[in-house]
Amino acid sequence: MTDAAGQLSANVVNFARLLRRAGLPVGPAETLAAHWALTAIDLGDKAAMRTALRATMVHRREHWDVFHQAFLLFWRDPTAAKQAVAMALLEAQKHKKQERAPPTSRRVAEALASPRDPKPRVEEEPPVVEAVMSVSDRERLQQLDFEAMSAGEISDAKSEIRRLRLPLDMSITRRLRPDPAGPKTDLRRTIRASLRQGGEIMDIARTRRVTRPPPLVVLCDISGSMARYAQILLHFIHAVTNDRDRVQVFLFGTRLTNISRQLRHRDPEVAFQMISHIVPDWSGGTRIGESLAAFNRDWSRRVLGQGAVVLLITDGLDRPRDAAGAAELSDSMDRLHRSCRRLIWLNPLLRWDGFEPKSQGIRAMLPHVDEFRPVHNLASLRALIETLSRQAPARTPSRRIAA
Amino acid sequence: MSPGLPATVSDTARLLAGQGYIADHELATTVHLALKMGRPLFLEGEPGTGKTEIAKVLAEGLGRRLVRLQCYDGMDLAAAAYEWDHARQLVAIRLAEAAGDTDRGALASDIYARSFLQARPLLSAIDPDQPPAVLLIDELDRADEPFEAFLLELLADFQITIPELGTIRAKTRPIVVLTSNRTREVHDAIRRRCLYHWVPYPDAARERAILAVKAPGVPEKLSAQVVAFVQALRGGDFFKYPGVAETIDWATALTYLDANDLAPELVDETLGILLKYQDDIAKIQGAEAARLVAMAHEAAAGT
Report if residue B2 sits inside a domain.
no
**Number of CB pairs, chain A paired with chain B, less than 8 A apart:** 119
Distance CA(B302)–CA(B221), nearest Å, equals 11
CB contact under 8 A, B37 and A305: no
Report if residue B191 sits inside a domain.
yes
pLDDT at position A133: 46
- Could you tell me the pLDDT band of residue B124, with boundaries at 50, 70 and 90? very high
Report if residue B143 sits inside a domain.
yes
Q: Give the domain-ending residue among B199, B220, B255.
A: B199
Does ipTM come in above 0.85?
no
Q: Give me chain A's average pLDDT, please.
A: 75
Report if residue B295 sits inside a domain.
yes
Residue window 240-269, chain B: list those with CB within 8 Å of chain A: none
Q: Give the domain-ending residue among B148, B171, B199.
A: B199
pLDDT at position A395: 62
Percentage of chain B exceeding pLDDT 70: 98
| Same-domain pairing of B46 and B144 | yes
Is A93's pLDDT higher than 60?
A: no
Q: Each residue of B240-252: pLDDT tens digit?
A: 899 999 999 999 9
Report if residue B272 sits inside a domain.
yes
| Same-domain pairing of B241 and B194 | no
- Which residue range is the domain that position B178 belongs to? 9-80+125-199
Give the pLDDT mean for A367-388.
78
Q: Poorest-confidence range of A99-113, A254-268, B100-114?
A: A99-113
Provide the domain count of chain B: 3
Substitution target from B72, B91, B183 for chain A, most A beta carbons within 10 A: B183
- Could you tell me the pLDDT band of residue A124, with boundaries at 50, 70 and 90? very low
| Same-domain pairing of B86 and B71 | no
Report if residue B1 sits inside a domain.
no
Q: Each residue of A259-297: pLDDT tens digit?
A: 988 888 888 888 888 888 888 777 777 888 888 989 998
- Could you tell me the pLDDT band of residue A126, with boundaries at 50, 70 and 90? very low
Q: Poorest-confidence range of A42-46, A93-97, A224-228, A241-245?
A: A93-97
SS3 A208: strand
| Same-domain pairing of B107 and B182 | no
Percentage of chain A exceeding pLDDT 90: 8
CB contact under 8 A, B184 and A305: yes
Report if residue B227 sits inside a domain.
yes
- The alpha-carbon gap from B301 to the nearest alpha carbon of chain A, in Å, equals 32
Is A173's pLDDT higher than 80?
A: no
pLDDT at position A2: 60
Q: Name the burial class of residue B193, with classes exposed (0-12), middle (13-18) and buried (19+) by CB atoms within 10 angstroms of its CB.
A: buried
Is B288's pLDDT higher than 50?
A: yes
| Same-domain pairing of B168 and B39 | yes
- Could you tell me the pLDDT band of residue B68, with boundaries at 50, 70 and 90? very high
pLDDT at position A390: 64
Q: Poorest-confidence range of A66-75, A311-320, B59-68?
A: A311-320
Find the DSSP H helices in A113-150.
128-132, 135-143
| Same-domain pairing of B46 and B149 | yes
Give the pLDDT mean for B261-270.
90
- 3-state SS string over chain B? CCCCCCCCHHHHHHHHHHCCCCCCHHHHHHHHHHHHHCCCEEEEECCCCCHHHHHHHHHHHHCCEEEEEECCCCCCHHHHCEEECHHHHHHHHHHHHHCCCCCHHHHHHHHCCHHHEEECHHHHHHCCCCCCEEEEEECHHHCCHHHHHHHHHHHHHCEEEECCCEEEECCCCCEEEEEECCCCCCCHHHHHCCEEEEECCCCHHHHHHHHHHHCCCCCHHHHHHHHHHHHHHHHCCCCCCCCHHHHHHHHHHHHHCCCCCCCHHHHHHHHHHHCCCHHHHHHHCCHHHHHHHHHHHHHHHHC
Amino acid at A15: F
Q: Poorest-confidence range of A36-40, A158-162, A285-289, B254-258?
A: A158-162
| Same-domain pairing of B16 and B140 | yes
| Same-domain pairing of B214 and B296 | yes
